[in-house]
Amino acid sequence: MDPAQFLTESRVVIVAGKGGVGKTTVTAALARTAALAGLTTLVVEVEGKSGLATLYGQPQFAYDEVVLSPGGPQGAADVLARTVTPDEALLEYL
């Protein structure tokens, strides 16, 4: 299957696995591929620390989303990121 087609047809993609298996690399590649397909992409970190922030030269993500990579003139969309802790999710839900 074509990755851009897969991402266009998916609403949510979850990248999970034990430490050291390449979750950060896969997440960055998927986010970039989706953005190049014209999809605004939100990466949500739930572990509390992100190698992705370091990869993009950003401070650790916060609850409010940040732009990791702005869209470009060739139709690429933004890549956004944020972190959500269980406490923040509960407060938002209540």
Q: What's the confidence (pLDDT) of residue 73?
A: 73
Task: Choose among 87, 2, 1, 4: nearest CA to 41.
Answer: 4
The pLDDT, as a whole number, for residue 20 is 85
**Of residues 49, 24, 41, the one with CA closest to residue 81:** 41
Q: Which residue has the tokens 């939100």?
A: 42
pLDDT in tens, the chain (94 residues): 788 788 888 889 999 888 889 888 999 999 999 998 899 999 998 876 778 888 888 888 888 899 988 887 777 899 999 998 888 888 888 8
* pLDDT at position 43: 92
In sequence order, what are the residues at sequence separation of 6 or more whose Cβ sits closer than 8 angstroms to the Cβ of residue 55? 24, 28
Tokens of 17: 């696995």
pLDDT of residue 85: 85
- Cα distances from 10 to residues 3, 38, 57, in angstroms, run 10, 14, 28
pLDDT of residue 41: 93
User: Which amino acid belongs to residue 37?
Assistant: A
